[in-house]
Amino acid sequence: MRIWISMMVAALSVPGVAQAQARPDQRAFFGLYKELVETNTALSSGSCTQAAAQIATRLKAAGFADADLTPFSVPDHPREGGLVAVLKGSDPAARPMLLLAHLDVVEAKREDWTRDPFKLVEENGYYYGRGTVDDKAQAAIWADTLIRFKQTGYKPKRTIKLALTCGEETTYAWNGAEWLAANKPDLIAAEFALNEGGGGRLDENGRRQLLAVQVGEKAAQNYTFTATNAGGHSSQPVPDNAIYELVDAVKAVQGYEFPVRFTDTTRAFFTATAGSTPPETGAAIRRLLADPTDKAADAIVSRDKALHSTLRTTCVATLLSAGHAENALPQRATANVNCRIFPGETVDGTLAKLQELAGAKVKVTANQPVRPLAKPPTLDPKIIGPMEKVAARHFPGLKLMPLMSTGATDGIFLEAIGIPVYGAPGVFIDKDSGGIHGLNERIRVNSLYDGRDYLFDLVKAYAG
């Protein structure tokens, strides 16, 4: 899942320069990318296992041995498998790096789309199709990078590992990254990992506005609010009503603001942002950095929904269900409240606050699965430095900005076993996020190839 910061940024804009498929290596990449996008990997009807097998075939054709490739799945989820590939390094003292991407995509109904979501369509300078961005662009780039290394005889000092997994887009699905962390930690062990979540943003004319690395993310957690009642005949209503009690509880959540918090990443992000926003907002950001309890400053900054979410834990009602008959008092009313928990706060602590808000008549429970809490990595110069150096060659004039995702990725499972995860910059998308998770998902053609070149050089910079 890619979540992009929507904010006012006065940044230098630089047009893309790559000519799509002008080089033989670009044409080879396009074949891999097209095959991956056109392989349905939605949970309801697709197969990540098939997609992983197709990539394994391409890796073998490039020279990878069977011993270098580990397909994985479990018997009760045969279509949700993945692949781990390893390109061994020459220096045993250099700890491995891990490239992570997920193969599964959000559901897409043909009748809702202008084009077939599982056919790669090039139109008006864009590639259209489900997963063209999230996350098959990155999965294809990572696999293509290893193929190019192998074909050219490149010998990295650091071992490079690739993990292509399934289950990221659906909370209740079997999750390959979680399974690897729990069952094959040695297979994916690494000093650090590069994942989705970073990238860049384009303006309406396709000019680069913002380059970002994701350093940390929130934890996604759902809670169920339940009000119960004996009910009765609707002709004789009483004040004690499950729907009213539930509505009161949900309205209490709507009216509550979790306190402002900062991590090293968000403090650096807001410090950089303060100089690129309107004067009133910039001044409010500086006041809030000095005093997180300044409610007047918070109110000004929080007019921007993305900045508001970056400051704190957020909880919002997303589903409601109530009653059993149109002529009966409700016996049961439930709501799902989706929370995005700020790093350092906990599922149980958030549950306690929600129960306090809901009151005694409404029960609040944390839904399963309860995933690990995000552990934000540090702004490590050994990681951020190469990103900046390579970006200066590929995207001159753009400063790399650290950000915390207000969404959630599979990085939480790796961080839980001690692997710091960074959302890699490089692939730029439109300000509206390119239809990710929505209709007619798309990516600018030149943006894909520019990002591919950047990420190839970035991996090489880390690998030595």
Cβ count near 76 (within 10 Å)? 7
- Looking at residue 2, what is its pLDDT? 52
Pairing outcome for strands 421-423 and 314-322: unpaired
- Please give the distance of CA 431 from its chain centroid, rounded to a whole number: 16
pLDDT at 14 over 50: no
Please choose, from the candidates 198, 1, 134, 112, the residue with its C-alpha nearest in 3D space to the C-alpha of residue 441: 134
pLDDT at 13 over 50: no
Using CA atoms, how far residue 311 sits from 185, 217, 263, 301, 333, in Å, is: 33, 12, 9, 9, 31
Domains of the chain: 24-217+374-463 (3.40.630.10), 219-263+277-366 (3.30.70.360)
Cβ count near 236 (within 10 Å)? 7
Please choose, from the candidates 213, 107, 195, 185, the residue with its C-alpha nearest in 3D space to the C-alpha of residue 409: 195
Q: At residue 294, what are phi and psi to the nearest 5 degrees?
A: -75, 95
Q: What is d(CA 434, CA 125) in angstroms, rounded to the nearest whole number?
A: 13
Q: What is the pLDDT of residues 236-272, one digit of tens each?
A: 999 999 999 999 999 999 999 999 999 999 999 999 9
Q: What is d(CA 251, CA 230) in angstroms, rounded to the nearest whole number?
A: 23
Pairing outcome for strands 160-165 and 97-102: parallel
- Please give the distance of CA 237 from its chain centroid, rounded to a whole number: 47
- Looking at residue 6, what is its pLDDT? 40
The per-type count for the chain, helices as H runs and strands as E runs, is: 14, 19
- Looking at residue 20, what is its pLDDT? 67
Average pLDDT over residues 14-21: 47
pLDDT at 9 over 70: no
- Looking at residue 301, what is its pLDDT? 97
Q: What is the pLDDT of residues 163-218, one digit of tens each?
A: 999 999 998 899 999 999 999 999 999 999 999 999 998 988 899 988 999 999 99
Taking phi over 0 as left and psi of -120 to 50 as alpha, with beta for the rest, 151 belongs to alpha
Cβ count near 107 (within 10 Å)? 15
- Looking at residue 85, what is its pLDDT? 98
Q: What is d(CA 332, CA 221) in angstroms, rounded to the nearest whole number?
A: 23
- The residue that leads in pLDDT, 369 or 36, is 36
pTM: 0.89
Contact present, 322 and 334 (Cβ < 8 Å):
yes
> Which pLDDT band holds residue 375 (cuts at 50, 70, 90)?
confident
Please report which helix (H) or strand (E) contains residue 86, including its range.
strand 77-87
- Looking at residue 276, what is its pLDDT? 82
pLDDT at 339 over 70: yes
Residues 6+ apart with CB under 8 A from 51: 36, 39, 41, 103, 164
pLDDT at 28 over 90: yes
> Which pLDDT band holds residue 290 (cuts at 50, 70, 90)?
very high
> With b meaning 16 or more CB within 10 Å and e meaning fewer, what string describes 403-424?
bbbbbbbbbbbbbbeebbbbbb
> Which pLDDT band holds residue 5 (cuts at 50, 70, 90)?
very low
Three-class DSSP category at 392: helix
Amino acid identity, residue 151? Q
- Please give the distance of CA 157 from its chain centroid, rounded to a whole number: 29
Helix axes 264-274, 279-290, angle to 10 degrees: 150
Residues in the chain, total: 464
The tokens of 312 are what?
Answer: 């704190």
Q: Which residues partner with 127 through β-bridges?
A: 122, 443
3-state helix, strand, coil split of the chain in percent (to 5) is: 35, 25, 40
pLDDT at 422 over 80: yes
Q: What is d(CA 429, CA 81) in angstroms, rounded to the nearest whole number?
A: 28
Average pLDDT, the chain: 93
> Which pLDDT band holds residue 12 (cuts at 50, 70, 90)?
very low
**Window from 14-28, 70-84, 331-345 with minimum mean pLDDT:** 14-28
Q: At residue 81, what are phi and psi to the nearest 5 degrees?
A: -80, 175
From first CA to last CA, the distance across the chain in angstroms is: 30
Average pLDDT over residues 394-402: 94
The tokens of 409 are what?
Answer: 């990725």
- Looking at residue 327, what is its pLDDT? 97
Please report which helix (H) or strand (E) contains residue 49, including its range.
helix 48-62
Contact present, 270 and 308 (Cβ < 8 Å):
no
